[in-house]
Structure 1
Amino acid sequence: MQKSPELNRRLGRMIRLIRQEKGMTLEKLAEKSLITPKHLSSIERGKTSLSVVNLLLIEKGLGMKEPGAIYTGDLLELYEHLYEYVHDLDQADR
């Protein structure tokens, strides 16, 4: 599979913009997303490919209630299943 540096940059910019709009520090989002600040910084700068699981964790950390509209077709179905899985994990912790 060919990597897409442009997609990585766009996703990273989107995450950073939403985080900043919510007045959240990188460290706080990393904590809420269960990833390290260093890894989140790399994602925001477009230096690291973003897995679907990490995208879901970041969306959850940002307080997003529904999966993003980034994926379509079969990928959207996979994305929704992973989204439900991550939220089920959170419910098990309560």
Structure 2
Amino acid sequence: MRNRRPLPLAFGREVRRRRLALGLTLEQLAERSSLTPNYIGTVEHGQRDPSLSTILALARGLGVAPGELLGGIGETGPLALEAARLIEAQPPEVQEAMLELLRSMSRRRRG
């Protein structure tokens, strides 16, 4: 079983909630979004990190704006906003190095 993370799980729950509110089956949403029912099921259960194209396809299939599916997921606090501003101010090669440093620190923290 895959390790389910909070953001994909919250996104998947929102997709499922909206699908059920519309009275759609997985198959119907799959047809409307050009995705497979099995893939949508894995997204709904938080087993996949959906790509941007998947988020757009699901939003289209549900008849909502993509941001509505994301809602308050991962709301950014002031420290994260400051970090993003500092990173964005750097040239691309420095941005990549900073991102790799953050990833490395995150991996070490998780053990």
Identify the TM-score tier after normalising by the shorter chain: 0.5 to 0.7
Q: Percent identity?
A: 36
Task: Report the equivalent of 1:68.
Answer: 67
Find the residue that maps to 2:66 and give its secondary structure: coil
The CA distance in 2 between the partners of 1:20 and 1:46, in whole Å, is 16
Q: Give the equivalent residue in structure 2 for 1:90.
A: none
TM-score of the two chains, using structure 2 as the length reference: 0.57
Aligned counterpart, 1:83:
none
Between the aligned partners of 1:25 and 1:61, the Cα distance in structure 2 is 12
Q: Superposed, which structure 2 residues align to 1:1-80 within 5 Å?
A: 5-64=5-64, 66-68=65-67, 70=70
After superposition, the Cα gap between the structure-2 partners of 1:67 and 1:42, relative to the gap in structure 1 and judged at 3 Å, is closer
Cα distance between partner residues in 2 of 1:42 and 1:56: 16
For residue 49 of structure 1, report the CA deviation from its aligned partner: 0.8
Distance change >3 Å, CA 63–CA 51, structure 1 → 2: same
Count of aligned pairs between the two proteins: 71
What TM-score, normalized by structure 1, do the two folds share?
A: 0.66
**Separation in 2, partners of 1:48, 1:31:** 19
Which runs of structure 1 show a deviation greater than 6 angstroms over 4 or more consecutive aligned residues?
Answer: 71-74
Question: What's the offset of the Cα at 1:5?
Answer: 1.1
Question: Cα distance, 1:67 vs. partner?
Answer: 3.4
CA displacement, residues 3-40 of structure 1 (integer Å, 9 cap, x when unaligned)? x7110100000000000001111110011111111100
